[in-house]
Protein backbone atom coordinates (compact mmCIF):
# COMPACT_ATOMS: atom_id res chain seq x y z
CA UNK A 1 0.00 0.00 0.00
CA UNK A 2 1.07 3.57 -0.61
CA UNK A 3 0.26 6.23 1.95
CA UNK A 4 0.07 9.95 2.13
CA UNK A 5 -0.57 12.08 5.22
CA UNK A 6 -3.10 14.87 5.28
CA UNK A 7 -2.50 17.17 8.24
CA UNK A 8 -5.78 19.01 8.66
CA UNK A 9 -5.54 22.20 10.71
CA UNK A 10 -8.79 23.39 12.23
CA UNK A 11 -9.45 27.04 11.46
CA UNK A 12 -12.31 29.39 12.19
CA UNK A 13 -15.49 29.00 10.19
CA UNK A 14 -17.49 32.02 9.21
CA UNK A 15 -20.86 31.17 7.72
CA UNK A 16 -21.89 28.18 5.59
CA UNK A 17 -19.16 26.94 3.26
CA UNK A 18 -16.41 29.18 4.60
CA UNK A 19 -13.25 27.25 5.38
CA UNK A 20 -9.52 27.58 5.72
CA UNK A 21 -7.05 25.83 3.44
CA UNK A 22 -4.16 25.36 5.88
CA UNK A 23 -3.58 21.72 4.92
CA UNK A 24 -0.22 20.02 4.45
CA UNK A 25 0.07 17.04 2.09
CA UNK A 26 3.10 14.78 1.91
CA UNK A 27 3.94 12.65 -1.14
CA UNK A 28 3.51 8.84 -1.25
CA UNK A 29 6.42 6.57 -2.11
CA UNK A 30 5.63 6.82 -5.80
CA UNK A 31 3.79 9.38 -7.86
CA UNK A 32 2.10 6.87 -10.21
CA UNK A 33 -0.90 4.92 -8.95
CA UNK A 34 -2.17 1.77 -10.66
CA UNK A 35 -5.77 0.81 -11.34
CA UNK A 36 -6.98 -2.12 -9.24
CA UNK A 37 -4.36 -1.73 -6.50
CA UNK A 38 -5.20 -0.90 -2.90
CA UNK A 39 -3.96 2.36 -1.42
CA UNK A 40 -4.17 3.62 2.15
CA UNK A 41 -4.91 7.25 2.90
CA UNK A 42 -3.96 8.61 6.33
CA UNK A 43 -4.82 11.96 7.85
CA UNK A 44 -4.40 13.83 11.10
CA UNK A 45 -7.79 15.04 12.33
CA UNK A 46 -7.91 18.76 12.97
CA UNK A 47 -11.04 18.86 15.11
CA UNK A 48 -13.67 17.92 12.54
CA UNK A 49 -16.07 15.00 12.81
CA UNK A 50 -16.03 13.46 9.33
CA UNK A 51 -13.96 13.43 6.15
CA UNK A 52 -14.82 12.95 2.50
CA UNK A 53 -12.28 11.48 0.05
CA UNK A 54 -12.55 12.24 -3.66
CA UNK A 55 -10.65 11.71 -6.90
CA UNK A 56 -10.76 14.77 -9.14
CA UNK A 57 -9.44 15.47 -12.59
CA UNK A 58 -10.07 16.45 -16.21
CA UNK A 59 -11.20 13.79 -18.67
CA UNK A 60 -9.05 12.79 -21.64
CA UNK A 61 -9.88 15.38 -24.32
CA UNK A 62 -11.33 14.49 -27.71
CA UNK A 63 -8.71 16.14 -29.85
CA UNK A 64 -8.75 19.81 -28.89
CA UNK A 65 -12.26 19.56 -27.40
CA UNK A 66 -12.55 19.33 -23.63
CA UNK A 67 -14.74 16.57 -22.20
CA UNK A 68 -15.04 18.28 -18.85
CA UNK A 69 -13.97 17.47 -15.32
CA UNK A 70 -14.86 14.50 -13.14
CA UNK A 71 -15.15 13.87 -9.42
CA UNK A 72 -15.30 10.35 -8.00
CA UNK A 73 -16.36 10.03 -4.36
CA UNK A 74 -14.18 7.34 -2.80
CA UNK A 75 -15.69 7.60 0.67
CA UNK A 76 -17.76 10.03 2.73
CA UNK A 77 -18.94 10.37 6.32
CA UNK A 78 -15.78 8.62 7.47
CA UNK A 79 -14.97 9.39 11.08
CA UNK A 80 -12.21 11.99 11.21
CA UNK A 81 -10.83 10.30 14.30
CA UNK A 82 -10.39 7.08 12.31
CA UNK A 83 -7.35 8.62 10.64
CA UNK A 84 -7.03 6.13 7.80
CA UNK A 85 -9.00 4.64 4.90
CA UNK A 86 -8.09 2.01 2.30
CA UNK A 87 -9.59 1.85 -1.18
CA UNK A 88 -9.05 0.24 -4.58
CA UNK A 89 -8.12 2.71 -7.30
CA UNK A 90 -10.74 2.67 -10.10
CA UNK A 91 -10.13 3.19 -13.81
CA UNK A 92 -9.55 6.88 -14.42
CA UNK A 93 -10.11 8.69 -17.70
CA UNK A 94 -7.08 10.95 -17.32
CA UNK A 95 -3.31 10.92 -17.39
CA UNK A 96 -3.14 12.93 -14.17
CA UNK A 97 -5.55 13.32 -11.25
CA UNK A 98 -5.75 14.50 -7.65
CA UNK A 99 -6.86 12.78 -4.47
CA UNK A 100 -8.63 15.26 -2.22
CA UNK A 101 -9.50 14.93 1.47
CA UNK A 102 -12.10 17.28 2.96
CA UNK A 103 -12.78 17.62 6.69
CA UNK A 104 -16.24 18.63 7.98
CA UNK A 105 -17.49 19.74 11.38
CA UNK A 106 -20.60 18.41 13.11
CA UNK A 107 -22.85 20.80 11.17
CA UNK A 108 -21.57 19.61 7.82
CA UNK A 109 -19.44 22.67 7.18
CA UNK A 110 -16.19 22.21 5.29
CA UNK A 111 -13.40 23.37 7.58
CA UNK A 112 -10.21 22.13 5.90
CA UNK A 113 -9.08 20.34 2.77
CA UNK A 114 -5.99 19.20 0.94
CA UNK A 115 -5.11 17.38 -2.25
CA UNK A 116 -2.14 15.98 -4.07
CA UNK A 117 -1.54 15.08 -7.71
CA UNK A 118 -0.67 11.68 -9.18
CA UNK A 119 -0.33 10.06 -12.58
CA UNK A 120 -2.54 7.13 -13.58
CA UNK A 121 -1.59 3.72 -14.96
CA UNK A 122 -4.36 1.37 -16.14
CA UNK A 123 -4.24 -2.18 -14.81
CA UNK A 124 -3.74 -3.57 -18.30
CA UNK A 125 -0.39 -1.71 -18.46
CA UNK A 126 0.71 -2.58 -14.92
CA UNK A 127 3.45 -4.90 -16.21
CA UNK A 128 3.88 -3.39 -19.66
CA UNK A 129 6.76 -0.98 -19.14
CA UNK A 130 8.52 -0.89 -22.51
CA UNK A 131 8.41 2.39 -24.39
CA UNK A 132 6.15 2.78 -27.38
CA UNK A 133 2.47 2.89 -28.31
CA UNK A 134 -0.16 0.78 -26.56
CA UNK A 135 -3.68 0.45 -27.94
CA UNK A 136 -5.86 -0.76 -25.08
CA UNK A 137 -8.75 -2.47 -26.86
CA UNK A 138 -9.35 -5.33 -24.42
CA UNK A 139 -12.88 -4.06 -23.68
CA UNK A 140 -15.70 -2.72 -25.82
CA UNK A 141 -15.61 0.50 -23.79
CA UNK A 142 -12.95 3.00 -22.72
CA UNK A 143 -10.72 2.18 -25.69
CA UNK A 144 -7.57 4.29 -25.45
CA UNK A 145 -4.15 4.75 -27.04
CA UNK A 146 -1.34 5.25 -24.52
CA UNK A 147 2.11 6.60 -25.34
CA UNK A 148 4.88 5.49 -22.98
CA UNK A 149 8.35 7.02 -22.75
CA UNK A 150 11.08 6.25 -20.22
CA UNK A 151 8.65 3.93 -18.46
CA UNK A 152 6.04 6.66 -17.95
CA UNK A 153 2.72 7.21 -19.68
CA UNK A 154 3.03 10.60 -21.32
CA UNK A 155 -0.08 10.86 -23.50
CA UNK A 156 -3.56 9.35 -23.71
CA UNK A 157 -5.77 9.49 -26.79
CA UNK A 158 -9.31 8.22 -27.42
CA UNK A 159 -9.16 5.52 -30.09
CA UNK A 160 -11.23 2.65 -31.51
CA UNK A 161 -11.06 -0.99 -32.56
CA UNK A 162 -12.92 -2.48 -35.53
CA UNK A 163 -16.69 -2.17 -35.37
CA UNK A 164 -17.21 -5.96 -35.46
CA UNK A 165 -14.62 -6.53 -32.71
CA UNK A 166 -13.49 -9.65 -34.58
CA UNK A 167 -10.00 -10.75 -33.53
CA UNK A 168 -7.79 -12.78 -35.84
CA UNK A 169 -4.18 -14.05 -35.74
CA UNK A 170 -1.72 -11.52 -37.25
CA UNK A 171 -1.17 -13.70 -40.32
CA UNK A 172 -4.85 -14.01 -41.19
CA UNK A 173 -6.89 -11.32 -42.93
CA UNK A 174 -10.46 -11.26 -44.23
CA UNK A 175 -12.35 -8.63 -46.27
CA UNK A 176 -14.41 -7.60 -43.23
CA UNK A 177 -13.63 -5.39 -40.23
CA UNK A 178 -11.26 -7.21 -37.87
CA UNK A 179 -8.46 -6.68 -35.36
CA UNK A 180 -5.12 -8.26 -34.49
CA UNK A 181 -3.57 -8.45 -31.03
CA UNK A 182 0.19 -8.57 -30.60
CA UNK A 183 3.41 -6.61 -30.77
CA UNK A 184 4.20 -4.76 -33.99
CA UNK A 185 6.09 -1.65 -35.02
CA UNK A 186 5.49 1.40 -37.17
CA UNK A 187 6.44 0.23 -40.66
CA UNK A 188 5.73 3.38 -42.64
CA UNK A 189 4.12 6.81 -42.39
CA UNK A 190 2.06 8.92 -44.79
CA UNK A 191 0.49 12.30 -44.11
CA UNK A 192 -2.33 11.39 -46.52
CA UNK A 193 -2.80 7.71 -47.34
CA UNK A 194 -5.47 6.82 -49.87
CA UNK A 195 -7.46 3.67 -49.13
CA UNK A 196 -8.32 1.93 -52.40
CA UNK A 197 -10.60 -0.51 -50.57
CA UNK A 198 -12.80 2.13 -48.94
CA UNK A 199 -11.97 5.06 -51.25
CA UNK A 200 -11.22 7.50 -48.44
CA UNK A 201 -8.29 9.63 -47.30
CA UNK A 202 -6.52 8.41 -44.17
CA UNK A 203 -4.67 11.43 -42.82
CA UNK A 204 -1.60 11.14 -40.59
CA UNK A 205 -1.47 7.40 -41.18
CA UNK A 206 1.05 5.09 -39.51
CA UNK A 207 1.06 1.49 -40.79
CA UNK A 208 1.94 -1.31 -38.36
CA UNK A 209 0.58 -4.48 -40.04
CA UNK A 210 -0.49 -5.17 -43.61
CA UNK A 211 -3.38 -2.74 -44.24
CA UNK A 212 -3.81 -1.79 -40.58
CA UNK A 213 -3.01 1.82 -39.66
CA UNK A 214 -3.30 4.32 -36.84
CA UNK A 215 -4.86 7.34 -38.54
CA UNK A 216 -7.26 10.26 -38.33
CA UNK A 217 -10.95 9.81 -38.92
CA UNK A 218 -13.57 12.31 -40.10
CA UNK A 219 -14.97 14.84 -37.63
CA UNK A 220 -18.50 13.51 -38.06
CA UNK A 221 -17.27 10.15 -36.71
CA UNK A 222 -15.57 11.48 -33.58
CA UNK A 223 -18.62 10.57 -31.49
CA UNK A 224 -17.91 6.88 -32.12
CA UNK A 225 -14.34 6.97 -30.80
CA UNK A 226 -13.62 5.07 -27.60
CA UNK A 227 -15.51 1.96 -28.73
CA UNK A 228 -15.56 -0.46 -31.69
CA UNK A 229 -16.26 1.59 -34.80
CA UNK A 230 -13.60 1.25 -37.50
CA UNK A 231 -13.04 -0.96 -40.56
CA UNK A 232 -9.99 -2.49 -38.88
CA UNK A 233 -7.68 0.48 -38.36
CA UNK A 234 -7.25 2.42 -35.14
CA UNK A 235 -8.86 5.81 -35.42
CA UNK A 236 -8.08 9.11 -33.72
CA UNK A 237 -9.25 12.68 -34.11
CA UNK A 238 -7.41 14.74 -36.73
CA UNK A 239 -5.65 16.77 -34.02
CA UNK A 240 -4.54 13.71 -32.03
CA UNK A 241 -3.44 11.77 -35.11
CA UNK A 242 -1.28 14.65 -36.30
CA UNK A 243 0.29 15.09 -32.84
CA UNK A 244 1.25 11.45 -32.41
CA UNK A 245 2.34 11.17 -36.06
CA UNK A 246 4.86 14.00 -35.65
CA UNK A 247 6.22 12.53 -32.40
CA UNK A 248 6.53 8.91 -33.58
CA UNK A 249 9.45 7.68 -35.72
CA UNK A 250 9.28 4.65 -38.00
CA UNK A 251 10.26 1.57 -36.03
CA UNK A 252 8.41 2.57 -32.86
CA UNK A 253 7.04 -0.38 -30.93
CA UNK A 254 3.25 -0.80 -31.17
CA UNK A 255 1.32 -3.22 -28.97
CA UNK A 256 -2.34 -3.95 -29.65
CA UNK A 257 -3.99 -5.29 -26.48
CA UNK A 258 -7.09 -7.33 -27.19
CA UNK A 259 -9.48 -9.41 -25.06
CA UNK A 260 -8.32 -12.80 -23.71
CA UNK A 261 -9.98 -14.54 -26.67
CA UNK A 262 -7.64 -12.68 -29.06
CA UNK A 263 -4.68 -14.66 -27.73
CA UNK A 264 -6.18 -18.12 -28.00
CA UNK A 265 -4.44 -20.31 -30.53
CA UNK A 266 -6.30 -22.79 -32.68
CA UNK A 267 -5.32 -26.32 -31.76
CA UNK A 268 -3.82 -28.29 -34.66
CA UNK A 269 -6.16 -30.73 -36.28
CA UNK A 270 -5.63 -34.24 -34.92
CA UNK A 271 -4.12 -36.75 -37.29
CA UNK A 272 -6.48 -39.53 -38.37
CA UNK A 273 -6.03 -42.78 -36.56
CA UNK A 274 -4.62 -45.80 -38.33
CA UNK A 275 -7.09 -48.17 -39.87
CA UNK A 276 -6.46 -50.84 -37.28
CA UNK A 277 -7.24 -48.33 -34.54
CA UNK A 278 -10.42 -47.22 -36.20
CA UNK A 279 -11.65 -50.78 -36.78
CA UNK A 280 -10.07 -52.91 -34.06
CA UNK A 281 -10.26 -56.64 -34.33
CA UNK A 282 -12.59 -58.35 -31.93
pLDDT in tens, 88-108: 999 999 999 999 999 999 999
Say how far apart CA 99 and CA 39 lie, in whole Å. 11
Helix H or strand E encompassing 246: helix 238-247
Q: How far is CA 253 from CA 89, 134, 186, 190, 265, in A?
A: 28, 8, 7, 17, 23
Mean pLDDT of 212-217: 97
Q: What is the pTM of this model?
A: 0.85
User: What pLDDT, on the 0 to 100 scale, is given for residue 122?
Assistant: 98
Per-position DSSP letters for 2-18, written without gaps between them: -EEEEEEPP----STT-
User: Which has more pLDDT, 274 or 228?
Assistant: 228
The answer regarding whether domain 124-261 maps to CATH 3.40.50.10470 reads no
Tell me the CA end-to-end span of the chain in Å, nearest whole number. Answer: 68
pLDDT beyond 80 at 22: no
Domain ranges in the chain are 3-121, 124-261
Chain Cα centroid distance, residue 186: 21
Q: Say what the pLDDT of residue 46 is.
A: 73
28 pLDDT band (50/70/90 cuts)? low
Distance of alpha carbon 209 from alpha carbon 186, whole angstroms = 8
Tell me the chain's radius of gyration from C-alpha atoms.
Answer: 25
3-121 placed in CATH 2.60.40:
yes
Instruction: Render pLDDT for 39-79 as a digit per residue (tens, 0 to 9).
Output: 988 887 778 899 999 999 999 999 999 999 999 999 999 99
Amino acid sequence: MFKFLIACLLVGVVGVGAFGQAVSVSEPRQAELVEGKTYSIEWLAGGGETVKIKINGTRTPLGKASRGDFSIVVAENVSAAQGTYSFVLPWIDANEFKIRVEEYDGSGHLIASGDHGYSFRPEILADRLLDGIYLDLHLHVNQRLYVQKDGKITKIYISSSSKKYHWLPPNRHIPEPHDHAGVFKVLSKETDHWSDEYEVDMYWAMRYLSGHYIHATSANLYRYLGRPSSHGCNRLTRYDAQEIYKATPVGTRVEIIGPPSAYKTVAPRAKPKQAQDMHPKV
